[in-house]
Amino acid sequence: MHVSHPLIKESAVEDREYQTSLARICGKESTLVVIPTGMGKTIIALRVVADTLHKGATKALILAPTRPLVEQHRDVLQDMMPTVRVASMTGGTVPDKRVDVWNRNTVIVSTPQVIANDLDKGRYGLGDVGVVVYDEAHRGVGSYSYVRVAEHYHPYRRLSMGITASPGSDNKRIMEVCENLRLFRIEVRTEEDPDVAPYVHRIEMKTLELDLPEDLMEIIGVLRDLLDKYVDELIKLRLLDDRSVATAKRLLVLGKTLQARAAHEKGSYTVFRALTVQAMAMKLLHAIGLAETQGTTALSRFLDRLEEEKVQDGSSRATRELLANEGYDRLREMLSKTRTEHPKVSRVMTLVSRQVDSEPDSRVLVFTHYRDTCEMVADRLARIPSARVGRLIGQAGHDGLKQKGQADVLRQFREGIVNVLVATSVGEEGLDVANTDMVLFYEPVPSEIRSIQRRGRTGRFSDGQVHILIAKGTRDEAYQNSSLNKEKRMRRRLEDLDRELRSRRQIEERARSQSSLASFR
């Protein structure tokens, strides 16, 4: 069965029950749709847009956070609605041309910054827009451009649609998204829902726990000895109670407190010294985390950057003092002598090699948190004869990958030119990553949003595997538990918020009705 619609190409869209139900709901009331990655968010938006235009609207606006995602949506919408004029706009489109594109086309797909800036400058308005779709709607908080667009659109009281795979588990944040984007209903679908289950492929989830080797444990021991020295100094300054509370979160709060004190207690040796010690402790905590969860390569590159900073003008006192410590010299000597890398590296190589050797046409996606790790893992995987490895990284830095480069890497992955893709967080959200047979988490992430996004890259068209690598006794374990717990809470909280939103909507409508009646009288 396929969707039959005057504006949608015949036999182009499979008629899935859950998509039909969600499109019908979104066509009646401004709604936040929460649905797993790979379940056709773009198709649901397409159907809402097509229905809105068919009912008489002259224009529709679809917003997406990145240029590759904008182009992806534009291509799908134009292909599926061949009789409708569809165009895209991004920051690369000059303002005068954007006005022309806006006036000449029926469906506009754009990055939100472009639309927000044009609306602020009065280049065009949203008066003839029948629906605005916010893709990756969980971004609609704070000062993000989605919020500015929604403010311009609100006076027209027309249809809005937010769509995301993972809004998060924090009630306040989800409610902020709904209020900012003027969404009055939340619809949630998961793989377990009866109308979704027939279209879901099985995803095999495995957590692989790894023991740290002795060489790495000794290096971590030296780092901890250095950290304890500075934590003990903070305890003597009565800024911490004991070593057990010297977490990254606690030290960050302490840093903010000390900065505030420094502004009022100018020239205070105690505050100045405490700021230096706190900064050294933060650097050491980061180094320990790298050693525990990433490996010696990532740690060495971090230390290289500290040493580069030390010789530059304006280097921090904390960096200079830390590198002058005799314990630091011992650390560097141990790193230069060890041939040990993190056990995650060999496990990733084994899993990838087994997959691409047994199924040459398969695709593997490896997620890493840090760019240094991404580069190291990609280099190691390139040694596997059957692995054709690509990197997907962000734009920042001199070696960053611009959006055109990202799109090219993803195209190669989809076409099989690349069969193993190593990605940082840029590969988690929105981009049209090909369906993969295996997804590897080099480390777990504490965010349920990012975890859901990563998992959603497999199991789209066939069964898939997800492997999460966890170093025993490290922050990996805490991050994994945090993500799982937040994910369990997410659906329950979404259902509670949906009831609250509907109740608020009813109260507002009654108040508006009573106000209108009073004016009439």
- pLDDT > 70: percent of the chain: 91
Per the structure, the count of domains in the chain is 3
Q: Is 140 found in the same domain as 28?
A: yes
How confident is the model over 228-233, as a mean pLDDT? Answer: 94
pLDDT of 111: 95
Q: Is 155 found in the same domain as 29?
A: yes
**Can you give the residue range of the structural domain that contains 155?**
17-199
Q: Is 119 found in the same domain as 143?
A: yes
Give residue-wise pLDDT tens across range 303-359.
Answer: 999 999 988 887 899 999 999 998 999 999 999 999 888 999 999 999 999 999 999
Interior/surface letters 381-420, b for 16+ CB within 10 angstroms, e for the rest: beebeebbbbbbbbeeeeeebebeebbebbebbeeeebbb
pLDDT of 460: 53
Pick the last residue of a domain from 301, 318, 337.
Answer: 337
Q: Is 145 found in the same domain as 45?
A: yes
Backbone angles phi, psi at 182, to 5 degrees: 60, 55
Which tokens in the block code for residue 96?
């005068």
Q: Is 407 found in the same domain as 392?
A: yes
How confident is the model over 381-397, as a mean pLDDT? Answer: 89
Which residue, chain included where needed, has tokens 């988690």?
A: 428
Please count the other Cβ atoms lying within 10 Å of the Cβ belonging to residue 100: 12
CATH code, domain with 162 = 3.40.50.300
pLDDT above 60 for 112? yes
Please count the other Cβ atoms lying within 10 Å of the Cβ belonging to residue 214: 10
Alpha-carbon distance values, 160 to 1, 36, 61, 239, 376 (Å): 28, 20, 10, 49, 44
- The mean pLDDT value of the chain amounts to 88
Q: Is 344:472 a contact under the CB 8 Å cutoff?
A: no
Q: Is 282 found in the same domain as 267?
A: yes
Alpha-carbon distance values, 123 to 95, 98, 99, 331, 460 (Å): 8, 9, 7, 59, 41
Residue 102's pLDDT band (cuts 50, 70, 90):
very high
Q: Is 386:361 a contact under the CB 8 Å cutoff?
A: no
pLDDT of 158: 94
Q: Is residue 513 part of a domain?
A: no
Q: Is 350 found in the same domain as 281?
A: no
Q: Is 256 found in the same domain as 194?
A: no
Residue 195's pLDDT band (cuts 50, 70, 90):
confident
Question: What gap in Å lies between CA 74 and CA 88, rounded to an integer?
Answer: 6
Pick the last residue of a domain from 280, 306, 337.
Answer: 337
pLDDT above 90 for 33? yes
Q: Is residue 483 part of a domain?
A: no
Q: Is residue 288 part of a domain?
A: yes
Question: What gap in Å lies between CA 306 and CA 135, rounded to an integer?
Answer: 39
DSSP string, 204-228: EEEEEEEPPPHHHHHHHHHHHHHHH
Beta strands in 337-451 (DSSP E): 364-367, 389-392, 420-423, 438-441
Q: Is 238 found in the same domain as 109?
A: no
Q: Is 32 found in the same domain as 127?
A: yes
Q: Is 434:419 a contact under the CB 8 Å cutoff?
A: no
pLDDT of 458: 53
CB half-sphere exposure, 467, CA atoms < 13 A: 20
Q: Is 71 found in the same domain as 107?
A: yes
Q: Is residue 488 part of a domain?
A: no
Which tokens in the block code for residue 119?
């609306």
The one-letter amino acid at 328: Y
pLDDT of 434: 59
Q: Is residue 484 part of a domain?
A: no
Q: Is 345:380 a contact under the CB 8 Å cutoff?
A: yes
Q: Which residues pair with 5 in a beta bridge?
A: 8
Q: Is 123:99 a contact under the CB 8 Å cutoff?
A: yes
Q: Is residue 276 part of a domain?
A: yes
Q: Is 330 found in the same domain as 357?
A: no
Nearest to 469 by CA among 448, 438, 442: 442
Residue 269's pLDDT band (cuts 50, 70, 90):
confident
Pick the last residue of a domain from 318, 337, 356.
Answer: 337
Q: Is residue 487 part of a domain?
A: no
Q: Is residue 500 part of a domain?
A: no
CB half-sphere exposure, 171, CA atoms < 13 A: 10
Which tokens in the block code for residue 90?
């991004």
CATH code, domain with 308 = 1.20.1320.20
Give the pTM: 0.71
Which residue, chain included where needed, has tokens 């209903």?
A: 185
Question: What gap in Å lies between CA 390 and CA 403, rounded to an integer?
Answer: 15
Which tokens in the block code for residue 456?
């959603």
